[in-house]
Structures are given as C-alpha cells and as structure tokens.
Structure 1
C-alpha cells in the first residue's frame, strides 16, 4: 500500500483537505446530534436521528468522491445498517454532478497530449457522471461510435489525501481500549485499496478484455460487456464501444418465463466469475447492469473488478457448495483457514457451533425463503463476535452477491439461489484456462 499512501500526498494539500473534511463532518455532526436529541425528547428510542439516510447522503456528497465511494459500499451492507439508511445511500451509485465543460475539455486534451486527437466528434456533455469519471459519447476518426470514460480532473490527489486522512482516523480508533481487537488498519487497507484501484484506468481496460473473453469462452452469448479499444485508451481515459438504447435492469412488463430466464442468466454469469474464472465484477449495482434493445444483459464499468487468487476462488466455491449441502462445520473451517486476521482470544469452537446452526437453517432454501443478506449479516456478526476477519478477496465477492440478490428477487422470488450454482460449482476445482491447457 505504500504506493497509495506516499504518492501525491503533500502536507499543505493534506492540511487543507483535512480542514474542509473536518468542517463538513462537524456541521453534519451537529445537525444529526440535534436530530437525535429531539428524537430522545419525544421518547423515540429507535435511533431515528442517526437513521436519516438522506442526511448521510448529503454529507457524503459534500465530502466528495472518496466518501461517495464509501457510501456506495455501505449501501450494500444491509447486514450492518437499516433499510432507511442503505436505501438512500444506494442513490449515490446513480450519478454525481459533472465538472465544468471547460475542465472536461482540458482533461481530455491532456490525456491525448503528444499524440493525434483520435475523435471526429466528441460530446463534452456527459451521458453519465460518476464520482471518479464522466462518460462521453464520441465518434472515432474511422467512424466508430464509442463511449469515452474520462477521469475527473484532480481526482487522484483528492482521493489519496482522503486515504491518508481516513488512515489516521482508523489508527486513532484502533487506540481506543474497547476497539483494540478490531483490525482497523487492515480494514482500511482493504476498503481504501479497493477504492483507489478504481483510479487505474489501464487495469480497467484490461479487465474489460478479460471479462469479455471469459464469458465468451463459457458461451454467454446473451451477456454483453463493452469492448475496449486499447489503441485509444490512455492512463486517464477508457475508450470502448458505445452501447445505446439501454434499459434499467428492472422486471417491467416482462412475462414470468422471461423473468426467470433473466435471473438464471445473471446468476450463471456471476457464478462463472466467482467459481471458475476467479475474475469478479464486484460493482453490479443498478447503475451498472442493463438490458439492451435485444434484451441482452449489459454489464458496465469494470473499475471494481477483483482477481481471486486460485486458493481463495476454490475456498469461496467450497464454502458455497458446503453451505448448500448443509455442512456447517466445513464452512466454518473454510472461513477460519481463509481469514486475514484472527484475534488472540478467538473462540474457534464457539464460532464453529454458531456457523453450524446458521448453515443448517440456510441449506436447500429457495431465494424466496433464503435471505442472503440475513445469512451474510449473521455470518459477519459471528466473525466480529469471535474475532475472525475475512480477506477482502473473500468479503467483496460476497458483498457483490448481496447487491445482485436484491435485484433478482424483483424478477423471480422463487428461483433456487443455491441450486442454480451447482452446475458451475461442479467445475470449481479447475479454472477454464487450466482445462483448456489440459485439452491441448
């Protein structure tokens, strides 16, 4: 993580950023504090003031892109936060205010400095705005219609300063006696590292290629991922084919048979990433998953893609299949062996007993009955109580499944969430490239 914390962080800029962040947090802390006191005076003991999700959204938006990304991750954590917080936070995934057009123009021209301008047409008004980048429609010199993802001007400095600030805050929290067993530095490295890696547009372009190749090799003809144009990509831009006429990933007026087919296609693609390929799109929220005009699934934005080391991929798959089989003891063993940190006072037998009970109630349930968010919440609670903390490669894919589960239930509440994984899990022990090499 030295490259993340050391580069582009200077004390004067860090001090200015700390002052701005501190002022915003202080102001909203006062507002939320007053709201909590008023709720208490009215006899409300449900934490209503703290559960004003709209207020948290406004605070995170004012704090800037790093905190918007944190809010996006928290919006998936229904195991930790109530719905009236996570539902408003989910809006942070949709859009951010665009920079001024002149700044976009300068950033784009700077990205192609020293080489010929590659576009016949370039619309400076974004078709989409995220916290890290804006997306623009353009036409290449040879007439191809493309989407150009442009990194926001100055965003790298801001996010690295925020990373340094939050690292300091986590260090202070770790010094509190009651919190000392929590691995705050490890947690910060995991979450902060995942966020900062989204600044690497070269890696994102490579991830688009790899995801496309993997799904094509597995025969997923009804799943589209925009093809990048590597010769036009730079460190600050990702140029890819433009996919027009996109529709939100919602049931709409689809009949039941089509809804079920859609659910199975989504689950099969995600399970293929998780259990066979080991290259996982961990950001399939409603802003990144669509239908095209031919009702194909379209997955966008490969900024948050994680490569699972082969042992972790196998462990994650083994955990899933043992959960479906009801073998809680083996699930517990997998979690213990893959943990990135185990507290000195960890009660392993207590953890095993708790997970055995949890898995016993989950095995064989259909998605209408099996609540992955509840299961994950209880799993995370067991890990916290007994002092086991998962590796990010194990935690982030599970969080991605939580996001997908919410969308899937809107299409077909009765699909067997676990049974759909079994055909893919049967191939879990050998990734496809190894199978292909063996055949050759």
Structure 2
C-alpha cells in the first residue's frame, strides 16, 4: 500500500511540475511574441522579441535550476549571440535568487545534527548563489577560513522531475519515423545523468581532490582544497580563496591576455587529452582570477570522467584535424559511432568531412570557429546516417563553454596549435609528461 501511495504521489508531483513548466513556457511565449510584434510595428531593429535577454532571465529563473543551467552555458557564447542576450544571462552564473535564510539555516543545522557544530562563525548571507547551491563564508573551529557550499533545499525533487519530463520528450522524439535511429534516450541518460550528478556533493568533493592532483603541475591554476572531515552529503566545505576577480579582459595588456588564453587552454587540454577528468562547466561563475592574476577554477559539480577509449579517440580526432588529415578524422568518427544507418554513404561522409577538416586546418589563426565546425560536423553525420556516441558530447561541451570567453581575451587564438604540444605527449607516462610541462 505504501508503495502504491508513493507512486501516486510521484505521478501527481510530476504532473504538477509538467503543468507549471507548460504554463510558464506558454506565458513567456506570448510575451516574446508580443514584444517581437511591437518591435516590427515600431520599426525598431533591436530591443525586443527573442533578443530580449531580461525576459530570458525571468523565464529560466521561473522554470528552475535545470533550466538556469542551460542559461549559464548559453551566456558564455558572446561570440555567437548578441550582448542583449548574453549579458543578462551571465547574471545566472553566480547570482540566482537565493532561498530564504530560514531554509538554509534549517538545511545546514540538519546536516550536522548528529555531530558537534564545526564552525566558529558562519555568514548566513551567501557570497554566491548558483542554480544548485549557495556558497557561504565561514570560519572552522581550527580557525581556517572556509567556503561552505550548501545544496538548495528541495532541489533534488525538482531536478528529478525535470529529468523525467525531458526523458518523456526524448522518448516521443524517438518515435518520430525520421528520427527513430537517433539515440535520443541514450543521449538523455548520459547528459541528463551528468547534470543530476551535480547533486552528488561527496562526488564533487572527490572531484576537487582529483583535479587538484591532476593540475598540480600548473603553477598558475588554483583549485580549492576540500576539507573531507567537514563535508556531508548536502554540503561541501573547502578552503576560501579571497579577492577573486571576474574572468574578464578588463585592463589587461595584450601580452597578459595572450598568456591567460594559453594557460586556460593548456589546463583544459590537459584534462581532455591526458587525464580524462574534465571540468565541463567553466562559465564566468566558476572561472576567476586571484590577486596574482592566476586562474582559479571553482565548482567541480559538473566534472566528467571520460573512458580511456573516448579520450584517445577525441585526442586522435583533434590532432588529425590540426594536421588536415580529414580521411583519418572520418575513420575515427565512423569507428566510434553509436549507430550507422544501413544506407549510410561512408565514402560521401569521408569526402564531406575531409573538405571540412581541410578548410578548418587551413584557417588562419583566430578564424577557426569550434561552434561552427561542430555544427557542420553534426550536419554531415545526420546527412549521411552516422550517429555519434553520446560520450563525445562532453569533450565538445567543455571546449564550447570556454570558446566565447577565450576569444574575448585574444580573438586571434589558434585553438588547434595550442593543443598540439599536449597532444604529442598524451601517450607518455604521466610522470614524464608532467615533468615536460613544468
């Protein structure tokens, strides 16, 4: 009886969440439509319709944490979207509306209910508010200044319902005749599960430790050290890094900007091609400068561990793309595909990708556009009937998230050239590879 009651309650909760999402989307759809119509009637060229970033912020905030996360990722693409959209969305990276102080206090007190209160001081007013957690400054009993990341009360239920809703949508798309061969369900399970894993705070604390070890050879990259004895299933306690500055060019001179770009790309490529432990969420709310202009990476909730086979295939694809070897790139994609249609034109795909790679490798510094390249690659796969393994979404995502920000610092950055030195040592023993980096 209890199990039946639980099922009924879960179904009712899911129905209510679906109704809320539908009402919010429908309401804002009307607002966007009315705004676009007003812009047309008044003959204004901008300032309304889908380009109204403030409306997008309100829409995503109303929908909740799963959708705020989408807005955070979109806000990094300032090279592709107008500032009227990305500017307002950037506020979602660290200034989402906080829960009430009472709810936060209740959550923190409950987390340490069975043990001695571990803090001398605790600032209940958050220093940062993300879609999944709030961050508070505190002082531990031993006098250490710490940052306390507190999972938002009730967020797990909301995100699990959103996950169930998107699973149903993916299932419906998979039933469309022309889309039946697309691995929607597999993609949803992998990408959606990765987002849900951001609720696993013990895993995040472990990821912080692993990233610190993997990037220890980078003297200009800092990652806060977690304090395992103070962490709980709902809370991550880590060292507090003060005087952080937003990851923006500001008044940095050209040489410093280029050095920043090289440092960021080197760290990301190290994660992608050497370690296989990848921070996929380096948006402006998680990437900062410290007082010495060193890089600080925060929030290891969206960290993915790439299977060795995927890491090697992605590295091989990238270096062959840099060398202009489109045929080998095509072969890597074919061998790693999740599904190949019976009527797939493999030779046509090889020819199309070879042309695309030749064009990309021949581009002058700063002209290579990863987002455009990825879009055309996916178009070729769809056209010729090859469907990629969903695991490849994560390496691409990590690069796409930082691409727009990096180009703000140095529009002439050569993404491919910066990867080559790391790609060349990817098969070395780790101790020798780290020694060479140093």
Matched residue of 2:61: which SS? helix
Aligned to 1:236: 234
1:79–1:377 contact (8 Å) kept in structure 2: no
Matched, 1:342 2:336: no
Matched, 1:330 2:328: yes
Aligned to 1:395: 393
Larger CA deviation: 76-85 vs 252-261: 76-85
Deviations 1:14-43 (A, max 9, x none): 222222222212222333344566678899
Question: What are the equivalent positions in structure 2 for 1:6-25 lying under 5 Å apart?
Answer: 10-25=10-25
Deviations 1:244-282 (A, max 9, x none): 000111222222222222211111111111111111111
1:434 Cα shift?
Answer: 10
Larger CA deviation: 420-429 vs 31-40: 31-40
Distance 1:363 1:316 in 2: 16
2:426–2:433 contact (8 Å) kept in structure 1: no
Matched residue of 1:135: which SS? strand
1:81 Cα shift?
Answer: 7.6
Matched, 1:166 2:170: no
Distance 1:88 1:191 in 2: 26
Question: What are the equivalent positions in structure 2 for 1:170-249 lying under 5 Å apart?
Answer: 170-216=170-216, 219-249=217-247
Aligned to 1:265: 263
1:311 Cα shift?
Answer: 0.9
Deviations 1:328-350 (A, max 9, x none): 11111112222334344433222
Distance 2:277 2:138 in 1: 29
**Equivalent of residue 369 in structure 1, options 367, 379, 383:** 367
Distance 1:201 1:179 in 2: 36
1:429 Cα shift?
Answer: 2.5
Question: What are the equivalent positions in structure 2 for 1:37-436 lying under 5 Å apart?
Answer: 49-75=49-75, 88-216=88-216, 219-363=217-361, 365-430=363-428, 432=430
Distance 1:192 1:87 in 2: 26
Matched residue of 1:10: which SS? helix
Matched residue of 2:71: which SS? helix
2:25–2:59 contact (8 Å) kept in structure 1: yes
1:109 Cα shift?
Answer: 0.9
Distance 1:113 1:283 in 2: 32
Matched residue of 1:147: which SS? strand
Distance 1:371 1:289 in 2: 22
Matched residue of 1:125: which SS? coil
Larger CA deviation: 61-70 vs 342-351: 342-351
Q: Per the alignment, do residues 311 and 82 of structure 1 end up closer, same or farther by CA in structure 2, a change over 3 Å counting? A: farther
TM-score by length of structure 2 reads 0.89
Larger CA deviation: 140-149 vs 158-167: 158-167
Please report the RMSD computed on the Cα atoms of aligned residues, expressed in angstroms.
Answer: 2.9
In structure 1, list runs of 5 or more residues that go unmatched: 1-5
Distance 2:83 2:330 in 1: 28
1:18–1:165 contact (8 Å) kept in structure 2: yes
1:111 Cα shift?
Answer: 1.3
Q: Per the alignment, do residues 91 and 351 of structure 1 end up closer, same or farther by CA in structure 2, a change over 3 Å counting? A: farther
Deviations 1:368-416 (A, max 9, x none): 2222222222222222333333334322221221222222222223333
Distance 1:405 1:293 in 2: 24
Aligned to 1:27: 27
Q: Per the alignment, do residues 246 and 213 of structure 1 end up closer, same or farther by CA in structure 2, a change over 3 Å counting? A: same
Aligned to 1:3: none
1:95 Cα shift?
Answer: 2.2
1:79–1:374 contact (8 Å) kept in structure 2: no
How many corresponding residue pairs? Answer: 428
1:79–1:378 contact (8 Å) kept in structure 2: no
1:347–1:386 contact (8 Å) kept in structure 2: yes
Matched residue of 1:239: which SS? strand
2:121–2:139 contact (8 Å) kept in structure 1: yes
Matched residue of 1:134: which SS? strand
Distance 1:399 1:167 in 2: 20
1:184 Cα shift?
Answer: 2.5
Matched residue of 2:134: which SS? strand
1:422 Cα shift?
Answer: 1.5
Distance 2:141 2:188 in 1: 44
Matched residue of 1:286: which SS? coil
1:299 Cα shift?
Answer: 0.6
1:247–1:290 contact (8 Å) kept in structure 2: yes
1:203 Cα shift?
Answer: 0.7
1:342–1:389 contact (8 Å) kept in structure 2: yes
Deviations 1:40-61 (A, max 9, x none): 8899999x84554443332221
1:224 Cα shift?
Answer: 0.2
Larger CA deviation: 100-109 vs 19-28: 19-28
